[in-house]
Chain A
Amino acid sequence: DAKTTQPNSMESNEEEPVHLPCNHSTISGTDYIHWYRQLPSQGPEYVIHGLTSNVNNRMASLAIAEDRKSSTLILHRATLRDAAVYYCILRDDFGNEKLTFGTGTRLTIIP
């Protein structure tokens, strides 16, 4: 699986937007970009995924750079419940049975 690089930690104020970056300079043309998060004492939870175009769902938005070497997960209005570790993962068809988790970004929300 191609490698991703994320900041170890970030902080954001409650009710503010949060932009979580991910670099994936070795991404291949067929890799999907997935984001998961893990709240304290819980299992990982799917957030969003995309290939080339920006994506929106009820949880977040995913902005993908034109060259696909980076992406940004956007939480539009952070709440305390969004405090979690966020993982950016590339998924291809050659290891498609698994999600390879890195160390992720620990997001702290400040009330």
Chain B
Amino acid sequence: DTAVSQTPKYLVTQMGNDKSIKCEQNLGHDTMYWYKQDSKKFLKIMFSYNNKELIINETVPNRFSPKSPDKAHLNLHINSLELGDSAVYFCASSAHNGRNTEAFFGQGTRLTVV
């Protein structure tokens, strides 16, 4: 059983399109995250949700809109895709907020905008 699963694994799309990436965790965790890893392999947080409530929005363009229908899911919708959005996007979850918890990451979604 995959703890944190993302779909799709690969996504190739044209500029200007709208696309979604789905994330599900079966760990019963309260907190979920989206991270972006750019071409230089730098990992940066985008969003964090706790019990379906947005906690962190790290100056991400408003073309990116996370949606959390329930605690187990955090989807990422991207409008009007741009070339610079090409990256690997990772979903993660942890049991609760706090410095004494570990996070579990999905395998990533490689988004290529052409």
Contacts and interface: CB of A to CB of B under 8 A. Distances in A.
B25 interface: no
The listed residue with most A CB atoms (<10 A of its CB), out of B33, B41, B44, is B41
A97 B97 contact: yes
Contacts of A34: 102
B48 interface: yes
Contacts of A36: 103
B86 interface: no
A57 to B, nearest CB: 11
Contacts of B48: 97-98
A43 B33 contact: no
9 contacts: A42-B107, A43-B105, A87-B43, A93-B99, A97-B33, A97-B55, A97-B56, A98-B56, A103-B42
Interface residues of B, number: 26
Contacts of B99: 30-32, 91-93, 96
B46 to A, nearest CB: 10
A49 B99 CA distance: 9
Contacts, number: 58
Interface residues of A, number: 26
A42 B31 CA distance: 21
Interface of A: 30-32, 34, 36, 38, 41-46, 49, 51, 85, 87, 91-93, 96-101, 103
A104 to B, nearest CB: 9
A70 B25 CA distance: 34
Contacts of A38: 43
